[in-house]
Amino acid sequence: MGQERSSGTAPPPELPGGIDDFDALVEAHRPRIFRFLLASLRDRETAENLTQDCFVRAYQARARFRGDASVATWLMHIAANLVRDHEASGRLKFWRRTLRPDVDVTDVSDWIPDRQRSPEAVASAKEQVRAVWNAAAQLSERQRTVFLLRFVEDMDLLEIAAVTGMKEGTVKAHLFRALQAVRAGLGGSK
């Protein structure tokens, strides 16, 4: 009551945890959200669009953010829901597209820290990464999501449970089944 604004509009509510600069929030979390969406969808344009959608939804829902989870977990939850919604819409089936020439998510320079490897070692590593992607493409939606959050985003089981809304035991079961399926897929590709 002591703070009236001359424009007659209230300022946007602050996000819990002192995050009131939404531009800074986007700058801090956009790379991780985009990476997850790109790994999930394997389509740069769709990943860029859904990354933008993720932050639009977060901005619109910022007043409802209770702080039960970290902002990063909250954003990843929104991103995971966008992937699920996108798949359900039938516009794009997960990883069925071949890699587009302008997007090479299997570029080993992003996956292997030592860039001084021989061309043969780089080619071998690239083939192994491609085999993992192909095996992961066969997973159920929940198994893929858990697998990507664990191994692409390096999230722990509790974070994955918060992002997906699953219980920790359910996350463990999906991760176990995903790993079995990926290992079986890799064994069958040799």
- Residue 121 C-alpha from the chain's centroid: 28
Q: Tens digits of per-residue pLDDT, 17-36?
A: 445 678 888 999 999 999 99
The Cα 128–Cα 145 span in angstroms is: 20
**pTM, whole model, 2 decimals?**
0.57
Structure confidence by residue, pLDDT tens digits, 134-156: 888 889 989 999 998 888 888 88
Rg (CA), the chain: 19
* Backbone phi and psi for residue 19, each to the nearest 5 degrees, phi listed first: -90, 95
All domains of the chain in start order, with CATH: 13-100 (1.10.1740.10), 114-190 (1.10.10.10)
> How many C-alpha atoms does 174 have within 13 Å on its Cβ side?
23
147 phi and psi, to 5 degrees?
-60, -50
Confidence bin at 167 (pLDDT 50/70/90): very high
